């Protein structure tokens, strides 16, 4: 057990505390679609949103935009295993710890000194440097695609690709759990959803989708909320049979699954590729930005049609340089991927031993499904006051029966941090009758 002295104890909600749950549901409804505030004046919209956030904060139940100081304020001295009372971070997507890797930091620092702190322009004008081009070509070769193009976020990559490619005469056939940036990117086209990671449901959706000029099936390689891996082999075969294109968002797969962290194709040993790959560069690769990989023709098409690419400042040069260094670490294998998987397996074993349902997660994302929103908040509050950094996920982003804590494991976590977190999770699970 690790000694901990807390200035204040966690607040505990009662089942009757419906106002706060209501506020959380409204909070998530607005996150999912700001349109829920339509029909109000500008002032009313802002006031309503402000009240939702303040209502949750007043109850000391606001678990977003927290900083290390928010934790330290609650704790006396060096209370938890995190050095100097730093919280144990179970919410980061820096899966390989590359944001703190000395080789990555050195590459970024050298590039800043040599090229300045930012690109200063959009990519088509003065915002593309040799470092950008080098990284794009290294990334394409790492992913085994003809070409890659970078955007300033993974969101912009998905949105920019899909709004450019899909029109009112086409149809997007979407796994119902794809990322918000994909759904937003399909705003100009027709959408048909199929059941999550269900090849039979995909087949039916594709057969029903008649009368469209083009069909694009869209999946995530690893799903950001459930951490499960797409059944890419089966999905690719069906997509081919039905003459559709396939796009895979590899944001949580690149650097995590497959040999050398090459992603979902490698995980399944597939030599044939999806038509288009996209992803965030802000997760395992430890940088920021996003990419689309595909044919040379696709990249040329995006260069002249994709508005978030054309009209937005490119990622800084140092970011391109550090991403090249991160790719190099992945290719040469510096041990981070092994450490990540050893931590994932340790943590999953611990969760099984506590008595949580074995999860389908096969990646660094481990959801803890807590089917009761009051218990979920109490659980989160308890961990927050015990210096374990996790975030809750609520309806309507997930269904009420699937409200959860989204835990992510990284290579940086030490064994004592993992065991401390598991110990606190077990205490909370017993306290709130979760297992
Ligand atoms: C599956 C998925 N795609 C795209 C994105 C967007 O990436 P970025 O944060 O780089 O904008 C995210 C998360 O952030 C994600 O989870």
Q: What are the beta bridge partners of residue 217?
A: 173, 246
Q: Is residue 389 part of a domain?
A: no
Q: What are the beta bridge partners of residue 290?
A: 151, 280
Q: How far is the CA of 259 from the centre of ligand 1 (A)?
A: 22
Assess whether 35 and 134 both reside in one domain: no
Rounded (10°) CA dihedral 259, 265, 271, 277: -120
Answer with the one of 332, 357, 384 that is the final residue of a domain.
332
Looking up tokens 């995590």 gives: 256
Q: How far is the CA of 154 from the centre of ligand 1 (A)?
A: 5
Number of domains in the chain: 2
Per-residue CA distances from 165 to 38, 121, 181, 277 (Å): 29, 24, 14, 14
Assess whether 150 and 189 both reside in one domain: yes
Its domain, for residue 217, covers 99-332
Q: Is the dihedral of CA 309, 313, 316, 319 positive or negative?
A: negative
Q: Give dist(CA 164, CA 169) in Å, integer.
A: 13
Q: Give dist(CA 361, CA 367) in Å, integer.
A: 8
Which residue puts its alpha carbon closest to atom 8 of ligand 1? 154
Q: How far is the CA of 176 from the centre of ligand 1 (A)?
A: 16
Which residue puts its alpha carbon closest to atom 10 of ligand 1? 154
- Residue 358 DSSP symbol: P
Assess whether 60 and 135 both reside in one domain: no
Answer with the one of 21, 53, 68 that is the final residue of a domain.
68
Determine the atom of ligand 1 nearest the C-alpha atom of 281.
10
> Quick one: residue 39, left, alpha or beta (phi over 0 = left, psi -120 to 50 = alpha)?
left
Contact 359, 366 (CB under 8 A): yes
Low pLDDT (below 50) residues in the chain: 1-7, 16, 74-80, 82-84
The DSSP result for 208-231, as a single string, is H--S-S-EEEEEESB-TTT-PBP-
* Residue 194 CB-half CA count within 13 A: 26
Q: Is residue 386 part of a domain?
A: no
Assess whether 46 and 110 both reside in one domain: no
**Letter string b/e over residues 147-172, b meaning 16 or more CB atoms within 10 A of that residue's CB:** bbbbbbbbbbbbbbbbbbbbeeebbb
**Of 20, 88, 7, 55, which Cα lies nearest the Cα of 376?**
20
List, in order, residues 6 or more apart from 50 with CB less than 8 Å away: none
The pLDDT of residue 139 is 98
The pLDDT of residue 13 is 64
Contact 283, 323 (CB under 8 A): no
Report angle CA 348, 349, 354 to the nearest 5 degrees. 95
The token pair at 230 is 């797409």
Q: Is residue 94 part of a domain?
A: no
Q: How far is the CA of 93 from the centre of ligand 1 (A)?
A: 10
Residues that are catalytic: 224, 252, 283
Contact 278, 157 (CB under 8 A): yes
Q: How far is the CA of 199 from the centre of ligand 1 (A)?
A: 24
Answer with the one of 312, 332, 352 that is the final residue of a domain.
332
The token pair at 7 is 């200035």
Which residue puts its alpha carbon closest to atom 7 of ligand 1? 154
The token pair at 311 is 């009209």
Assess whether 293 and 167 both reside in one domain: yes
Q: Is residue 302 part of a domain?
A: yes
Assess whether 43 and 119 both reside in one domain: no
Q: How far is the CA of 280 from the centre of ligand 1 (A)?
A: 5
Query: Ligand 1 pocket: which residues have CB below 6 Å?
Result: 153-155, 158, 179, 181, 220, 224, 249, 251-252, 280, 282, 290
Residue 287 has φ and ψ, to the nearest 5°, of -120, -140
For residue 206, the domain's CATH number is 3.40.640.10
Q: Is residue 390 part of a domain?
A: no
Using DSSP's 3-state secondary structure scheme, residue 243 falls into: coil
Which residue puts its alpha carbon closest to atom 9 of ligand 1? 154
The pLDDT of residue 385 is 85
Q: Is residue 82 part of a domain?
A: no
Rounded (10°) CA dihedral 347, 351, 352, 357: -130
Assess whether 168 and 231 both reside in one domain: yes
Looking up tokens 């340790």 gives: 346
**Of 138, 133, 228, 135, which Cα lies nearest the Cα of 178?**
228
Q: Is residue 139 part of a domain?
A: yes
Assess whether 56 and 107 both reside in one domain: no
Assess whether 282 and 146 both reside in one domain: yes
Using DSSP's 3-state secondary structure scheme, residue 248 falls into: strand
Q: Is residue 414 part of a domain?
A: no
Assess whether 52 and 160 both reside in one domain: no
The pLDDT of residue 357 is 86
Assess whether 117 and 253 both reside in one domain: yes
């Amino acid at each position: 057990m690790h000694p901990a002295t807390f200035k204040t104890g966690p607040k505990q909600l009662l089942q009757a505390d419906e106002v706060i749950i209501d506020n959380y549901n409204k909070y998530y409804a607005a996150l999912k679609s700001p349109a829920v505030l339509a029909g109000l004046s500008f002032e009313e919209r802002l006031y309503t949103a402000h009240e939702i956030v303040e209502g949750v904060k007043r109850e000391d139940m606001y678990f977003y935009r927290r900083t290390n100081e928010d934790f330290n304020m609650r704790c006396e001295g060096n209370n938890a295993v995190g050095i100097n009372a730093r919280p144990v971070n179970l919410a980061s997507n820096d899966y390989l710890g590359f944001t703190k890797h000395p080789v990555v930091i050195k590459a970024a620092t050298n590039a800043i000194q040599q090229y300045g702190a930012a690109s200063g322009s959009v990519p088509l004008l003065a915002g593309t440097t040799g470092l950008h081009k080098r990284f794009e070509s290294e990334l394409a070769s790492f992913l085994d695609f003809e070409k890659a193009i970078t955007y300033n976020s993974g969101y912009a990559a998905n949105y920019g690709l899909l709004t450019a490619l899909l029109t009112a005469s086409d149809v997007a056939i979407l796994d119902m759990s794809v990322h918000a940036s994909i759904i937003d990117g399909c705003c100009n086209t027709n959408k048909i959803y199929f059941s999550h990671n269900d090849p039979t449901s995909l087949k039916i959706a594709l057969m029903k989708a008649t009368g469209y000029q083009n069909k694009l099936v869209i999946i995530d390689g690893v799903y950001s909320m459930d951490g499960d891996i797409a059944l890419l082999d089966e999905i690719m075969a069906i997509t081919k049979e039905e003459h559709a294109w396939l796009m895979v968002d590899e944001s949580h797969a690149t650097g995590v699954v497959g040999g050398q962290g090459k992603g979902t194709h490698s995980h399944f040993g597939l030599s044939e590729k999806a038509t288009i790959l996209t992803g965030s560069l802000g997760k395992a690769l430890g940088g920021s930005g996003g990419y689309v990989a595909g044919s040379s023709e696709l990249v040329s098409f995006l260069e002249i049609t994709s508005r978030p690419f054309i009209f937005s400042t490119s990622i800084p040069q140092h970011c391109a340089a550090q991403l090249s260094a991160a790719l190099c670490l992945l290719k040469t294998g510096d041990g981070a991927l092994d450490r990540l998987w050893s931590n994932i397996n340790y943590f999953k074993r611990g969760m099984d031993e506590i008595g949580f349902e074995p999860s389908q997660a096969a990646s660094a994302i481990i959801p803890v499904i807590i089917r009761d929103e009051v218990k979920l908040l109490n659980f989160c509050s308890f961990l927050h006051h015990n210096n374990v950094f996790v975030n809750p996920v609520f309806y309507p982003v997930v269904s009420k029966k699937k409200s959860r804590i989204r835990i992510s494991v990284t290579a940086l976590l030490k064994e004592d941090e993992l065991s401390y977190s598991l110990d606190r999770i077990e205490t909370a699970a017993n306290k709130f009758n979760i297992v």
